[in-house]
Amino acid sequence: MLLIACPYCGEERPELEFRHAGEAHVARPDPIAEIDDAAFEAFFFLRDNPKGLIWERWRHVHGCGRFFNAVRDTVSDRFITTYKAGEVRREVVRDDEGGYQLKGEER
Amino acid sequence: MRNYSIFALAREALRGHRGWEQQWRSPEPKSRYDVIIIGGGGHGLGTAYYLAKEHGVRNIAVLEKGWLGGGNTGRNTTIIRSNYLYDESAALYDHAVKLWEGLAQELNYNVMYSPRGVMMLAHNVHDVQVFQRHIHANRLNGVDNEWLTPEEAKAYCPPLNIARNARYPVMGAALQRRGGTARHDAVAWGYARAASALGVDIIENCAVTGIRRGSNGAVEGVDTGRGFIAANKVGVVAAGHSSVLMEMAGVRMPLESYPLQALVSEPVKPVFPCVVMSNTVHAYISQSDKGELVIGAGTDQYTSYSQTGGLPVLTHTLDAICEMFPAFSRMRMLRSWGGIVDVTPDRSPILSKTPVAGLYVNCGWGTGGFKATPGSAHVFAHTIAQDAPHPINAPFNLERFRTGRLIDEAAAAAVAH
Ligand SMILES: Cc1cc2nc3c(=O)[nH]c(=O)nc-3n(C[C@H](O)[C@H](O)[C@H](O)COP(=O)(O)OP(=O)(O)OC[C@H]3O[C@@H](n4cnc5c(N)ncnc54)[C@H](O)[C@@H]3O)c2cc1C
């Protein structure tokens, strides 16, 4: 089971308290009624599905109830970081040992 | 290829089994093929077989990064059925069931197709209504499916608990008698052996790392761990890794990859005569010919390529199994494993040409593509050979996510099927 750090509760909690909520940073086109079919397809159906880092949303349904963002490695399922909804996308860099570090916070 | 038969078995028994030959050749890759299939699961190997057998294409390679059937083909719970709701799905899956019926003879390989019946349990009023709707839709499409009362369900599957005070009461069931199981590995091996005999090069331990496109945008070949291999037609049949491969050709896919788990018990004497599925409580069970109970769980909630899933998913499934079959609560589980399944937004597969000339894709089978293996391979071979879809797979195109003509089996099942 994954352990997930909720950025609102400030605590690492078991996955059972959370719901996965799909790709993060997908902006709803505005005004949505005026987009063409290709933009509709991209917004509704096309998704990042990388073997490696994914930016995704989770919701702490059995905790504070809030949505937040996470960066996770889909091969090891390790979380690199979690951060609050609305914050800018966190960039990540690979370190010499093959792990990941937050950009600007490399050790 | 030397035929398998009772006489071959007798001959080899007398000769100490020294005369069996390798089932398929392991050639060095050539520098160019007419068609390259990426992915040595049942769907990819079957595609190569039908390309050679029915379309006269002889210069074909199947490139597999690991070993044959090491993907979802060798990891699934082998449930076969065709009682899907929509006309398009019924046509596709029933095409497969019809091919399953003759597959062992066709391939001269015992794929152990066993139409022992697939029974889907209804636990609440919603289930009853949905299944009855399925039954009517199926019968209009000529697909067998019938309604059973709880007592009839119990008669068909004696271990079932139909007590009225059960935690998940059984209010009836839908039974497809032609549904059942088959031996998963044998499907990959049987297609590989028959394809190899028709001249198909099957190349294991050969991961594709790039798909090259020429200045006109069309496919030119693939980069692999064993060098560049040229081909003007490439078929991607890579299940959970389909997005990764399509990305190599610059095509973004409507797919998300999730872990899906299964487990088997210690082997016991025959106790379980059919396949039972409960979509509502997420439990799928049958008994293999070795005697193990084969139990399928749901997907994890998050996307992943880890090929393992979380323990809560398995415990949830076993809770449900023990409620419905109290007799199994003392059984010990031997092994559990995961596969990575590629899920589309409408839970229907994609068997299609792509925006890239010469590139074809067969993916999106998600949690339920084993049952479709022969049918999928058959129509996909047609799509590649003719550069146009077979009428059966025409609706399962990639454009449907743009045109909106979805085949929404998600609403019909929404869970592992
Ligand atoms: C636990 C579980 C239970 C299931 N239960 C059922 C069931 O009961 N009934 C049912 O109908 N379906 C079921 N399924 C789904 C079913 O297994 C799949 O839909 C089906 O087997 C897919 O077959 P395939 O040939 O397309 O894929 P696979 O068998 O996965 O083959 C794809 C191949 O592509 C290879 N590959 C990937 N990347 C590369 C690369 N870069 N280069 C070269 N090769 C590559 C992989 O190694 C793999 O061997 C289940 C799946 C799982 C995981």
Domain assignments of chain A as residue spans, ordered by start: 3-102
- Going by pLDDT thresholds of 50, 70 and 90, the confidence category of residue A58 is very high
| Overall average pLDDT of the B405-417 stretch | 69
| Torsion B69-B70-B73-B75 (CA) sign | positive
Beta bridge partners of B35: B60, B233
Q: How high is the pLDDT of residue B284?
A: 94
pLDDT at B410 over 80: no
Tokens of B152: 């009839």
Contacts 24+ apart (CB under 8 A), B224-232: B224/B29, B224/B63, B225/B65, B226/B29, B227/B29, B229/B29, B229/B30, B229/B31, B229/B32, B229/B33, B229/B36, B229/B61, B229/B63, B230/B31, B230/B32, B230/B33, B231/B32, B231/B33, B231/B34, B231/B35, B231/B36, B231/B61, B232/B34, B232/B358
| Torsion B375-B121-B417-B107 (CA) sign | negative
Q: Which atom of ligand 1 is nearest to the CA of B208?
A: 42
Q: Tell me how far apart the alpha carbons of residues B349 and B93 are, in angstroms, rounded to a whole number.
A: 11
Residues 6+ apart with CB under 8 A from B176: B81, B82, B83, B117, B118, B138, B143, B144, B145, B146
| Overall average pLDDT of the B252-272 stretch | 97
Q: Tell me how far apart the alpha carbons of residues B207 and B212 are, in angstroms, rounded to a whole number.
A: 15
E-only strand ranges, A42-90: 53-59, 67-73, 79-84
- Going by pLDDT thresholds of 50, 70 and 90, the confidence category of residue B417 is very low
Q: How high is the pLDDT of residue B413?
A: 53
Helix pair angle (B87-107, B125-140), 10° resolution = 70
Contact with chain A for residue B254, Cβ under 8 A: yes
E-only strand ranges, B267-376: 275-278, 283-287, 293-299, 333-343, 350-353, 359-363
Q: How high is the pLDDT of residue B281?
A: 87
Residue percentage of chain B with pLDDT more than 90? 95
| Overall average pLDDT of the B175-191 stretch | 98
Model pLDDT for residues B118-133, shown as the tens digit of each residue? 999 999 999 999 999 9
Q: How high is the pLDDT of residue A107?
A: 64
Give the CATH architecture of domain A3-102.
2-Layer Sandwich (3.30)
Instruction: Show the DSSP H helices in chain A as ranges.
Output: 37-44
User: Are B402 and A38 in contact (CB < 8 Å)?
Assistant: yes
Residues 6+ apart with CB under 8 A from A19: A58, A59, A61, B301
**A88: three-class secondary structure by DSSP:** coil
* Tokens 């999106």 found at: B364
What is the number of other CB atoms lying within 10 angstroms of the CB of residue A78?
14
Pocket lining for ligand 1, CB < 6 angstroms? B 38-44, 63-66, 70-73, 75-79, 207-208, 237-239, 241, 245, 260-262, 296, 339, 341, 365, 367-371
pLDDT at B416 over 80: no
Count of residues making up chain B: 417
The pairing of strands B35-38 and A53-59 is unpaired
pLDDT at B170 over 50: yes
Instruction: Show the DSSP H helices in B29-124 as ranges.
Output: 42-55, 87-107
pLDDT at B412 over 60: no
Q: Tell me how far apart the alpha carbons of residues B335 and B155 are, in angstroms, rounded to a whole number.
A: 30
Q: Tell me how far apart the alpha carbons of residues B18 and B400 are, in angstroms, rounded to a whole number.
A: 53
ipTM for the whole complex: 0.95
Which of A41, A54, A76 shows the shortest C-beta gap to B401? A41
pLDDT at A34 over 60: yes
Between B316 and A107, the higher pLDDT residue = B316
Helix pair angle (B373-386, B42-55), 10° resolution = 50
DSSP state of B181: B
Q: How high is the pLDDT of residue B297?
A: 94
Secondary structure element (H or E) that encloses residue B223, with its range: strand B219-224
Helix pair angle (B184-197, B87-107), 10° resolution = 70
pLDDT at B4 over 50: yes
pTM score of the predicted model: 0.96
| Overall average pLDDT of the A71-76 stretch | 96
Substitution target in B304, B319, B342, B403 with the highest count of A β-carbons within 10 Å is B304
User: Are A56 and B302 in contact (CB < 8 Å)?
Assistant: yes
For residue B128, how far is its CA from the centre of ligand 1 (angstroms)?
A: 31
Residues 284 through 303 of chain B touching chain A, CB cutoff 8 Å = 301-303
CA nearest B399 in A: which residue? A41
Average pLDDT, chain B: 96
**B314: three-class secondary structure by DSSP:** helix
Find the Cα–Cα–Cα–Cα dihedral B46, B48, B50, B54, rounded to 10°: -170
Which residues in chain B have their CB less than 8 angstroms from residue A77's CB? 302, 304, 306
Tokens of A61: 């349904």
pLDDT at B411 over 80: no
Max CA pair span of chain B: 68
- Going by pLDDT thresholds of 50, 70 and 90, the confidence category of residue B414 is very low
Q: Tell me how far apart the alpha carbons of residues B383 and B54 are, in angstroms, rounded to a whole number.
A: 12
CA nearest B253 in A: which residue? A46
